[in-house]
Amino acid sequence: MGETKPKSNDLHAMRHSAAHVLATAIQHLWPHAKFGVGPVVENGFYYDVDLGKDKLSEDDFGKIEAEMRQIKAANQKFEHFTVPIDEAIDWAQEKHQPYKQELLNDLKRAGTTVAKDLDNAELGLAATGAGKLEKASFYRNGDFTDLCRGPHVASTGKLGAIKLLRVSGAYWRGNEGNSQMQRVYGIAFETDKELKQHLVMLEEAKKRDHRKLGQELDLFLFSDLVGSGLPLFTPRGTLLREELAKYSNELRESYGFTKVWSPHITKKELYETSGHWAKFGDELFLVKSQETKDQLVMKPMNCPHHTRIYASRARSYRDLPIRYLETATIYRDEKTGELGGLNRVRSVTQDDSHIFCRQDQIEAEINNMLQAAHELYATVGMGLRVRLSYRDESDDYLGPKELWQSAQKQLKAAVVANKLEYFEQEGEAAFYGPKIDFMATDAIGREHQLATVQLDFVQPERFGLEYIAEDGNGQTPVMIHVALLGSIERFLSVYIEHTAGRFPVWLAPEQVRIITLNDEKATLGYASKLQGQAKELGLRVSIDDSNESVGKKIRASELMKVPYAVVIGDKEIKSNKLVPRVRKDMVVQERTTPMGIEEFLKTVANEAKGRVNKSSL
């Protein structure tokens, strides 16, 4: 969650002021409170506070909000003033505000409080701030004064609808080595109505939570005995993930990729060569051989393996590009606190792909992959925009800087040429190269990073990859890493919430449910004949012949979000026709007249084959 562009300056100022008033209220209730920073974030604001031995909890929100309402009702003016920076530092010392004092010292020294700019200032690079600051900006309302650049609204009476949402831990200045403060989050809108709408959206998000739906729709689970971050997939969940993987595989095959396979454990030397060991060694699962002296690891990615396949024979410039795909499960020992549902797991299945190509082929290859990503996200019905992820000035990256410069330029050129909506961000690159990250937008407007295309000049070099060029000399190929779904687990977490579990026919674990009206032989026989026909067409069809009312069986089918339900009784048996019940989100035009059973099954089979989202019934 970064600082985001406000919808309007007024709203931004209001949220800023809300943070200020939150601090005012906390100061009133806990006079010894020490304050960190209180910026505006998406939909609201937060303030970092340190209450010493006291701890804030959500139980305190009632009284804090009450205090904030009082301050609002008092309609205190926000007075803006500036003081010489040294006086400001004295003020912070006198008021026992060590965090503010630290910020002020940074302002005095480098004109900024932003960690990255501070580093740059220390490295002698130009800080984005305007150099040393002479004066510090303050806002005062009533008895409370706070260091703040603003802007603020005119008075506390101008505050809109505010609600505190949660409190959590946050390291001072985002640094793991620093002390931990408490971060109080709030949301703020101009009107009560907007606030309510936002709360409704949060409720909707909760209803769609993939962990909840994963349980309700019987898709996946976690077991304490298996371990955290290690999901197990039920038959339904497995069908879903395999259909997705199959689609990604087919799509990439249509772009000239061929499948390869690599083992799940590998000697650690492979990752020492690639550079991963130095950077991610502590996140690898170790495997010890009892036969040899080898130190093995569970593989955390496939790219080094694919370089071995490339290097297994001499390559000519004529052979390139060579494109490998492998949808494989990899293992990363993520820190426990970072795990969450399917979003972040320790066993990750990537639809991983690697292109080995010549410099002059990069553009065409990137173009293809941009197109493939768009095709895939159009199919699953999610919008895309692109983030160009560049390196920053730190030493966390391998390879010569000039190469990075040109690689970043090439990526941008491809994105521009494809007329994609994009934004650029430094510090988001992989250690071996810049990336194009695709941000997918879900049905309730949230963005998620899923697909990625990464340029890599480093690993081919480190692995000594080569091809023989036209002139007979050895050349180093370029490697392009591509994942379209990203990780299947993560994609599922997003996709389940995007669809709220209402999967299109091609992905629905159960596509058609046959509901019997009674348990007469003729009915059961007909139902099972129907199921047989459907299976021949490749459909996933189940029969509910339980001793329950039709109403209840329909309800059960709806709750499992099965796309089609058909009731079989005498009418259907006599006429050989039926009126399918279509899941509401798929209906284009409601059908009331019966249709032939053959026609029904063929239509559904075609929908599945065509991977369409709507029903043509």
Partner RNA sequence: GCCGACGUAGCUCAGUUGGUCAGAGCGGCUGUUUUGUAAACAGCGGGUCGUGGGUUCGAAUCCCUCCGUCGGCUCCA
Give the catalytic positions in this structure.
303, 332, 350, 352, 354, 435, 481
Q: How far apart are CA 154 and CA 10, in angstroms?
A: 10
What is the three-class DSSP state of 540?
coil
State in angstroms the smallest separation of the CB of 146 from RNA.
21
Q: Which is nearer to RNA, 136 or 578 (CB)?
A: 578
DSSP 164: E
State in angstroms the smallest separation of the CB of 265 from RNA.
14
Which residues make beta-bridge pairs with 2?
none
- What is the chain's percent helix, strand, coil content, to nearest 5? 40, 25, 35
State in angstroms the smallest separation of the CB of 9 from RNA.
25
**Contact residues for 215 (Cβ-Cβ < 8 A; gap 6+):** 221
**Contact residues for 202 (Cβ-Cβ < 8 A; gap 6+):** none
Q: How far apart are CA 380 and CA 376, in angstroms?
A: 6
End-to-end Cα, the chain, rounded Å: 43
State in angstroms the smallest separation of the CB of 314 from RNA.
27
Neighbours of 416 (CB within 10 A): 11
Amino acid making up residue 266: T
- The token pair that represents 114 in the structure block: 């932003």
- The token pair that represents 4 in the structure block: 């985001």
State in angstroms the smallest separation of the CB of 173 from RNA.
8
Q: Which is nearer to RNA, 152 or 513 (CB)?
A: 513
| Closest alpha carbon to 47 in 63, 32, 25, 29 | 25
| Closest alpha carbon to 210 in 449, 493, 489, 440 | 493
State in angstroms the smallest separation of the CB of 14 from RNA.
22
Amino acid making up residue 433: G
CB 45 within 8 A of CB 16: yes
**Contact residues for 377 (Cβ-Cβ < 8 A; gap 6+):** 383, 384, 438, 440, 451
- Whether omega before 6 lies within 30 degrees of 0, making that bond cis, reads no
State in angstroms the smallest separation of the CB of 332 from RNA.
4
Neighbours of 565 (CB within 10 A): 21
Q: Which is nearer to RNA, 111 or 229 (CB)?
A: 229
| Closest alpha carbon to 342 in 484, 504, 205, 212 | 212
Q: Which is nearer to RNA, 234 or 379 (CB)?
A: 234
Q: Which is nearer to RNA, 88 or 530 (CB)?
A: 530
State in angstroms the smallest separation of the CB of 431 from RNA.
6
